[in-house]
Chains A and B, each alone.
Chain A
Amino acid sequence: MLVLITYDVSFDTEGGKRRLRNIAKICQDYGIRVQYSVFECDVTPAQWVELKEQLFAAYDPEVDSLRFYKLGKNGQNKIEHFGAKASFDVFKSPLII
């Protein structure tokens, strides 16, 4: 299923930068960065559990926030993109570099 993950990490407290980097890295393990702080992750239910667990361990619930938009199985159809840096579907688009 496709999940859109967005996050806000506060720099006010100590370690904000570190948490931000950490969260981005975790998201990159499972998905593609489509904008700053926005990731599209195509995951199996098992991977989704792992991913959430890692994110919960990495963020600070007092000052940071995480938002998950579950787009379901055919989530790609629900996305429209305009403007620069059109992202692609890692499962379907040809990956030819």
Chain B
Amino acid sequence: MKKLQNVLYLTRDSLYAHKEREAIVIKEEQNTLQKIPIHSIAAIYCFGQAKVSPGLMAHCSENDVNLAWFDLFGRFQARIQGRQSGNVLLRRAQYRISDNNPVDIAKNIIAAKIQNGRNVLQRHIRNNGDNEEVSRVIGALRFSIEQAGNAKSVEQLRGIEGEAAAQYFSVFQHLIKPSLQDEFVFNGRNRRPPRDAINALLSLLYAVIGQDVSGALNAVGLDPQVGFLHADRPGRDSLAQDILEEFRAYLADRMAVSLINKQQIKARDFETEASGAVKLKEEARKALYAAWQQRKQEVILHPFLNEKVEIGLLPHIQAMLLARHLRGDLQQYPPFYIAK
């Protein structure tokens, strides 16, 4: 089993990272803040304008370290793409299925996505007692899962998915503690840029997890840009977006809700720009990455492999399972979902 490696987050513009032999050295002005051996790192994520030396860029690509930049909203900006690695036959199989028969994989992914969303709502009811509106949506999502299972085309699936997402987010506000609902108001998902605190939080989490997924796909030799559900678009990691669907509810949404409910992130941790864009302040962003790093180390039983794994390895496992399916070793792609 792959070893769960750490992720280095550079959050200040004044930081400069360079390579010294096999180690990553992080400096601020003339002070060395940290030296980290590269083999312990799976990815370096820079938020804002942190600088990275070209030598380190090359070193990252050689060592399969995913190096990416985000803006302060967590929006992905750029990443270093090293020499194309992996198996060309696997990529060809991926392209063939993406062109000719994407529906089977796409519908598994969407059914799992809706199931995982439904799960988050059911969990809320288990912990907090019945709620009429939430229960109604749980019922509706059950129907959506069935519909997704019977979908005949990707367009149809996108429709079912959009409908299910709208239903799910229509009751998302209920997950927030009643005492905090005045401070955290959520009226459906919005992005580019996010216009309220919850949306800002979700966007940032999706971006970070999406990068982990891209890195994992690259690592098994798949092309993150060629998806089954999301259409090809220059610069978009469509396949990573596909696989991310399975993780949104289970990893990001639940984490956003718990950060708010446990008041690890408070309303005053957000700032609104003149344009109406809402973003998380620096200190709170750090709290978020720390919470995410901790969550990644929790061990769960993978529902398909029936093996104990760290949550941080889930993207790698799904990437590996997808590769196995594309190679023909697995008849169906088993998406990640929790059944109960």
| Neighbouring B residues of A25 by C-beta, 8 Å | 20-21
Total A residues in contact with B, Cβ cutoff 8 Å: 20
Q: What CA separation (Å) do A90 and B34 show in the bound complex? A: 11
Q: Which residue of B lies closest to A95 (CB)?
A: B8
Q: What CA separation (Å) do A95 and B8 show in the bound complex? A: 5
| Neighbouring B residues of A79 by C-beta, 8 Å | none
Is A57 located at the chain interface by the 8 A CB criterion?
no
Quick check: A90 and B11 within 8 Å, CB to CB?
Answer: no
Taken residue by residue from 282 to 298, chain B's Cβ proximity to chain A (1 for < 8 Å, 0 otherwise) reads as: 00001001100110010
Quick check: B35 and A97 within 8 Å, CB to CB?
Answer: no
Query: Which stretch from A5-13, A30-38, A60-68 is at the chain B interface?
Result: A30-38
Q: Which residue of A lies closest to B286 (CB)?
A: A96
How close is B69's CB to chain A, nearest CB, in angstroms?
15
How close is A38's CB to chain B, nearest CB, in angstroms?
14
- B36 contacts which of A90, A94, A96 (Cβ < 8 Å)? A90
Total B residues in contact with A, Cβ cutoff 8 Å: 30
| Neighbouring A residues of B297 by C-beta, 8 Å | 92
Q: What CA separation (Å) do A64 and B186 show in the bound complex? A: 65
Quick check: B6 and A91 within 8 Å, CB to CB?
Answer: yes
How close is B39's CB to chain A, nearest CB, in angstroms?
7
| Neighbouring B residues of A33 by C-beta, 8 Å | 35
| Neighbouring B residues of A30 by C-beta, 8 Å | 22, 37, 39
| Neighbouring A residues of B294 by C-beta, 8 Å | 94
| Neighbouring A residues of B15 by C-beta, 8 Å | 97
| Neighbouring A residues of B21 by C-beta, 8 Å | 25, 28-29
| Neighbouring B residues of A47 by C-beta, 8 Å | 39
- A28 contacts which of B7, B9, B12, B35 (Cβ < 8 Å)? B35
Q: What CA separation (Å) do A93 and B4 show in the bound complex? A: 12
Quick check: B35 and A94 within 8 Å, CB to CB?
Answer: no
Quick check: A96 and B37 within 8 Å, CB to CB?
Answer: no
Q: Which residues in chain B, 1-36, are within 8 Å of chain A measured between CB atoms?
A: 3-12, 15, 20-23, 26, 33-36
Q: What CA separation (Å) do A93 and B36 show in the bound complex? A: 12
Since A90-B6, A91-B3 are in contact, a sample of 6 more A-B pairs with Cβ atoms closer than 8 Å, ordered by chain A residue number, is A28-B20, A28-B35, A29-B22, A90-B36, A97-B11, A97-B34
Can you give 30 contacting A-B residue pairs, CB < 8 Å?
A: A25-B20, A25-B21, A28-B21, A28-B22, A28-B23, A29-B21, A30-B37, A32-B36, A33-B35, A41-B37, A43-B39, A44-B3, A90-B36, A90-B37, A90-B40, A91-B3, A91-B40, A92-B6, A94-B9, A94-B294, A95-B6, A95-B7, A95-B34, A95-B36, A95-B41, A96-B293, A97-B8, A97-B9, A97-B15, A97-B34
